[in-house]
Amino acid sequence: QVQLVESGGGLVRPGGSLRLSCTASGIPFSLYTMGWYRQAPGKQRELVALISNRDAADYTDSVQGRFTISRDNAEKTVFLQMNSLKPEDTAAYYCHATFGRQYWGQGTQVTVSS
């Protein structure tokens, strides 16, 4: 059974930081491209960042320079370090794994508000 379990969301003030984690089970993690998506109320789910199985990272323009994606293959975990958070970063954040097939986590809420 494949599981992607996210953690690390919460409420933070503008300018603050959060670190999201997603731990996978049931897949050969090191082969998978891992990504973080987000979905705000009334909006479509969008790609935030992804990291390939060769550690090549890519980011959507709105988070470039503020967010960093990384992975630990030994721990089967992908991270999203989010700095300089803005209210517009408020969304449910979802972990995604793809290597032919694709899988989603259940999501973790990030709220940026003063």
pLDDT at 37: 98
Q: Rounded CA gap, 86 and 35, in Å?
A: 20
Q: What is the pLDDT of residues 16-62, one digit of tens each?
A: 999 999 999 999 999 999 999 999 999 999 999 999 999 999 999 99
pLDDT at 70: 98
Query: Cβ atoms within 10 A of the Cβ of 103, count?
Result: 16
Q: What is the pLDDT of residues 75-106, one digit of tens each?
A: 999 999 999 999 999 999 999 999 999 999 99
CA distances in angstroms from 36 to 45, 108, 114, listed in the order given = 10, 11, 24
Q: How confident is the model at residue 71 (pLDDT cuts 50, 70, 90)?
A: very high
Q: How confident is the model at residue 74 (pLDDT cuts 50, 70, 90)?
A: very high
pLDDT at 19: 98
